[in-house]
Structure 1
Amino acid sequence: MNLPNRITLVRIFLIPIMVFLYLATFIPYGKLIALAVFILAACTDFLDGMIARKYGLVTNLGKFLDPIADKLLTASALLLVVCDMTLPPPYGVIVAIIILGRELIISAFRQVAATKNFVMAADKWGKVKTIFQDIALPALMFLSLIYQYSWFSQTFVFVFEIICYSLIGIATLLTIISGCNYIIKNFNVLKEEKGEENGR
């Protein structure tokens, strides 16, 4: 197993550690450590890709593991901030359904494409969406930390809430746009699948 794939595995192993630290109220500053773990895990996403491309270490295993690791990290962090109501209902629930639903649909779409040796490459909308998610989710985790320890004034908290909700709102909008764009650009995969079924 090459270095980029090992880094990807490290990202996967960091996810349960992050979840445990975030939920373990008996650990002093557990949420703060969980936030640091999330940031570290998110950084490994850029690191493994950079190394793989720079040194020609792109493998089929890496293409399989990397998006899985990304989705697990995003889903875990999102569910944490929704379940502890840092993202209050119904806003948090709607955001979670859209983001997680999109990932499930696109993953299924990619599986169909893979059976036909067709690669669905990430486009600019997907990349921008990922950037906003990687900013919004740690910001929300930090907001939860602020609620717990009351480190800042009410004015700061109010302004930071608006920033966090706006960031995750933009990320959610980009999630919808990128998902629709993926399907429209790669709709021929589904048409071919339907054509094969009709020919049976």
Structure 2
Amino acid sequence: MNLPNRLTLLRILLIPVFVVLVSINAIPGNYLLAALVFIGASITDYLDGSIARKRDMVTDFGKFADPLADKILTTVAFIYMLVDGVCHPLVLVIIIVREFAVSGVRMVAAGAPDGKVIAANRMGKAKTVLQMVTIITYYVLAGVQRLLPVYIDTGTIPQIIAWVLCWAVAAITAISGVQYIWQNRAYINTKK
């Protein structure tokens, strides 16, 4: 297994660590620690693709596993933001529907006679970056807020920022999904 694929697997292994940190409020600074884990996972996302392209180590496994790792990690983070009340359920529905639709197109393309593996496009990558920025911003701000003394009231600043960013994520997620499906519509054959 090459280095980029190992980095992708590392990102997948960091998901349970993130879940434990955001789930257990008894851990001091749990949201800040979760943000650090998420940042580490995000760095592996950048590195695996960069190394794979520069060193000609792109594999079909990487083309499938890299976006899958992103989907799992970001969906889990948004689910916890939903639980915290800072992400509207519709945002999560848009994210999940888009990811299933894009994965479906990828599977159909892979099963086509030419066996094409479709990598993420620029809009999909922009979507991933905005999702990561949104998640990191929320968990850092909420983490700092949780560590502040009770008498310092920061209001709902982290929640408002997260709410706005979540809707921006919903918009770019929907747009990137429609664009991806449109660009790969040749693989969606409604006739037998």
Question: When the two structures are superposed, what TM-score results if normalisation uses the length of structure 2?
Answer: 0.90
**AA in 2 matched with 1:93:** P
Counterpart code for 1:164: A
In structure 2, list runs of 5 or more residues that go unmatched: none
Match of 2:183 among 177, 182, 185: 185
Is residue 4–residue 57 contact of structure 2 (8 Å, CA) maintained in 1?
Answer: yes
CA distance 1:86–1:169, shift in 2 (3 Å): closer
Distance 1:57 1:19 in 2: 30
Residue 96 of structure 1 corresponds to which residue in structure 2? 92
Question: If each structure's helix is expressed as a fraction of its own residues, which one has the higher value?
Answer: 1
Identity over aligned pairs, percent: 40
Cα deviation code 1:51-80 (max 9, x no counterpart): 111111111221121111111111111111
Name stretches of at least 5 consecutive residues in structure 1 with no aligned partner.
none
Give me the whole-angstrom Cα distance separating, in 2, the residues matched to 1:27 and 1:160: 20
TM-aligned CA distance change 1:166 to 1:86, over 3 Å: closer
Provide the rounded CA distance (Å) in 1 between the counterparts of 2:78 and 2:38: 11
Compared with structure 1, are the counterparts of its residues 21 and 145 closer, same or farther at alpha carbon in structure 2 (3 Å cutoff)? Answer: same
RMSD: 1.9
Aligned length in residues? 189
AA partner of residue 28 (structure 1): P
Q: Which has the higher contact order (CA 8 A, sep 6+)?
A: 2
After TM superposition, list the pairs within 5 Å mapping 1:1-200 onto structure 2. Answer: 1-87=1-87, 92-116=88-112, 117-150=115-148, 154=153, 157-191=155-189, 194-195=190-191, 197=192
| TM-score, scaled relative to structure 1 | 0.86
Contact 1:2 1:57 in 2 (8 A): yes
Range with bigger deviation, 123-132 or 173-182: 123-132
